[in-house]
A and B are shown apart, each in its own frame.
Chain A
């Protein structure tokens, strides 16, 4: 009887934890694949992405704006950057010239979660697994 009660308590706790983990608020501050904050020669703050980087935004946002830049040396290949929202491709940008390029990405209507995951994937990286420079991301309500 005691074992059954203990098993039931464990089961309830596991279900509760899983329910909480499906859409936890702490994901909003979570990101991966970004380097430390730096400042470009033009004074604009930026961070390098890795080959793949992710961050979360509120699901009720209307759009986000992401500034990209890739310093180019003679002979460098252009980089193709793919932006996905919850694993669905939302935009693609080819960076072939040095200079900031800002993309505005419309977010789909809110689903069942509070947050949406934005992935930035770069098809080729520089030494140290550096992808592209990303400036301050603007969130539009």
Chain B
């Protein structure tokens, strides 16, 4: 059944994607943040340029538009992109055929014409489905097929995931969703016993996580803290690390090699390998908007996807493999929430729900599965769970359509606005 849920998600995702762009609901996929995540590809492959100078000259009269968050670095005047290269690397397998098709069909080989746009857009959908495939496999290590199916349905359709896999698929979030899931699965595999490929995969995935969104480096804590639920777990872990030093070195080597090109790009642009790529934009750690990012009607993650509260509760009450991720996952969720709440634009601009939390869905999925697993043991509770799933999916889907058609504002939604249009599609 869980396999069918993933297949349905993929088919519906493709149908929604075609609908969005065939009917003009959204502008072409490479837009807003999606532009800056993607812009490396035309720069590297078409203009053979690491500096972004040539692509700026070709696409934009020499200066990137303000919305792109690509700034000229003070002192060197070279371009620095606030968004790192990870998404572009994962889009590259779609860029190459798009470029070849563009040349073949005589479209403009500028990196932004029809095939490039949909290569980038469909890459996001591909990694969303890949993330669901990986999440299904992870869930089946502990939970039944039915529980995995219900969890996948909820994570896909009762949160912002489907929106970010289709409408805003060029943003980084679904890429992180896949990478987090893969990293959790590889971490669990590593602790089950030595395998030749696992350290390399862990290193590559860790590197890509950092390259996709730098603050997500915090998520790498799930590896060293896997299975730690108290002092005993920590002691056992230290012994495990001492015993497997060569594997740890392989992980570190692979991660370093993956991250190195980004450091080189920063160095060439600024003279320093480590910088704050957002320039003057920054955090307000003294006054985090914690309530707002969690519960507000404006962008509260639990307001727009209340099913995720079940995930938090489930993570606390988890057992088995899910429990092994609980401490590190919980730490990550707390610190990540604090970071998001402290960011100068705590709403993250226009977004459906709070997009800053989409990356964390694999962790919360384990919590949701834990709760569904308990409920599945009693018929009455199972019926209740089914109703919860149905209601959560229905409300979230209607709200997603409302967002697509601008019935719900892109940001700063008020309670009056929300109440006035609740479950209305016109």
A87, B58: Cα distance in complex, Å = 13
Tell me if A30 is interfacial: C-beta within 8 Å of chain B: yes
Nearest Cβ on chain A to B55's Cβ, whole angstroms:
10
- Structural contact, A32 and B65, CB atoms closer than 8 A: no
Tell me if B61 is interfacial: C-beta within 8 Å of chain A: yes
Tell me if B101 is interfacial: C-beta within 8 Å of chain A: yes
Give every chain A residue within 8 A of B4 (Cβ-Cβ): none
Tell me if B303 is interfacial: C-beta within 8 Å of chain A: no
In this complex, the interface size class of chain B, counting residues with CB under 8 Å from chain A, is 20 to 34
Give every chain A residue within 8 A of B110 (Cβ-Cβ): 52, 54, 119
**When the two chains form the complex, which single residue of B58, B101, B112 contacts A32, counting CB atoms closer than 8 Å?**
B112
- Structural contact, B107 and A131, CB atoms closer than 8 A: no
Question: How many chain A residues touch the partner (CB < 8 A)?
Answer: 29
- Structural contact, A129 and B105, CB atoms closer than 8 A: no
- Structural contact, A51 and B61, CB atoms closer than 8 A: yes
Given contacts A30-B114, A32-B113, contact A52 B59 (CB under 8 A): yes
Give every chain B residue within 8 A of A54 (Cβ-Cβ): 107-108, 110, 113
Give every chain A residue within 8 A of B106 (Cβ-Cβ): 23, 27, 86, 113, 115, 117
* Nearest CB in chain B to that of A33: its residue: B112
Q: Which of B49-63 contact A (CB under 8 A)?
A: 57-63
* Nearest CB in chain B to that of A21: its residue: B105
- Structural contact, A125 and B62, CB atoms closer than 8 A: yes
| SS class, residues of chain B in contact with chain A | loop
A124, B60: Cα distance in complex, Å = 7
Interface string of B359-385 (1 = CB under 8 A from A): 000000000000000000000000000
**When the two chains form the complex, which single residue of A21, A86, A124 contacts B61, counting CB atoms closer than 8 Å?**
A124
**When the two chains form the complex, which single residue of A51, A127, A128 contacts B58, counting CB atoms closer than 8 Å?**
A51
Tell me if A69 is interfacial: C-beta within 8 Å of chain B: no
- Structural contact, A51 and B113, CB atoms closer than 8 A: no
- Structural contact, A129 and B60, CB atoms closer than 8 A: yes
Tell me if B416 is interfacial: C-beta within 8 Å of chain A: no
Give every chain A residue within 8 A of B109 (Cβ-Cβ): 87
Given contacts A24-B105, A30-B107, A117-B106, contact A125 B113 (CB under 8 A): no
A24, B115: Cα distance in complex, Å = 14
**When the two chains form the complex, which single residue of A51, A87, A117 contacts B59, counting CB atoms closer than 8 Å?**
A51
**When the two chains form the complex, which single residue of A22, A122, A124 contacts B104, counting CB atoms closer than 8 Å?**
A22
A121, B216: Cα distance in complex, Å = 39
Tell me if A140 is interfacial: C-beta within 8 Å of chain B: no
Tell me if A50 is interfacial: C-beta within 8 Å of chain B: yes
Give every chain B residue within 8 A of A131 (Cβ-Cβ): 61
Q: Which of A23-76 contact B (CB under 8 A)?
A: 23-24, 27, 30, 32-33, 50-52, 54
Interface string of A1-32 (1 = CB under 8 A from B): 00000000000000000100111100100101
- Structural contact, A123 and B104, CB atoms closer than 8 A: no
- Structural contact, A32 and B108, CB atoms closer than 8 A: yes
Given contacts A32-B114, A52-B110, A129-B65, contact A27 B105 (CB under 8 A): yes
A141, B303: Cα distance in complex, Å = 60
Give every chain B residue within 8 A of A24 (Cβ-Cβ): 105
Give every chain B residue within 8 A of A127 (Cβ-Cβ): 65-66
Give every chain A residue within 8 A of B104 (Cβ-Cβ): 18, 21-22
- Structural contact, A125 and B61, CB atoms closer than 8 A: yes
A121, B65: Cα distance in complex, Å = 16
* Nearest CB in chain A to that of B56: its residue: A51
Given contacts A52-B110, A117-B106, contact A21 B101 (CB under 8 A): yes
Given contacts A32-B112, A32-B114, A54-B113, contact A27 B62 (CB under 8 A): no
Max chain B CB contacts within 10 Å: which of A32, A123, A128? Answer: A32
Give every chain A residue within 8 A of B112 (Cβ-Cβ): 32-33, 52
- Structural contact, A125 and B105, CB atoms closer than 8 A: no
A127, B113: Cα distance in complex, Å = 21
Give every chain A residue within 8 A of B66 (Cβ-Cβ): 127
A119, B106: Cα distance in complex, Å = 11
Nearest Cβ on chain A to B7's Cβ, whole angstroms:
20
Q: Which of B65-106 contact A (CB under 8 A)?
A: 65-66, 101, 104-106
13 more CB-based (< 8 A) A-B contacts, given A51-B58, A52-B112, A125-B60: A21-B104, A21-B105, A23-B105, A32-B108, A33-B112, A52-B110, A79-B61, A113-B106, A121-B58, A122-B61, A125-B63, A127-B65, A128-B65
A-B pairs, top 3 by smallest CB distance, nearest first, are A125-B61, A54-B108, A51-B60
Name B's A-contacting residues (CB within 8 A).
Answer: 57-63, 65-66, 101, 104-110, 112-114
Q: Give me 19 A-to-B residue pairs in the complex whose CB atoms sit less than 8 angstroms apart, sorted by A's number.
A: A18-B104, A21-B101, A21-B104, A23-B105, A23-B106, A27-B107, A30-B114, A32-B113, A51-B60, A52-B58, A52-B112, A86-B106, A87-B109, A117-B106, A122-B61, A123-B62, A124-B62, A127-B66, A129-B59
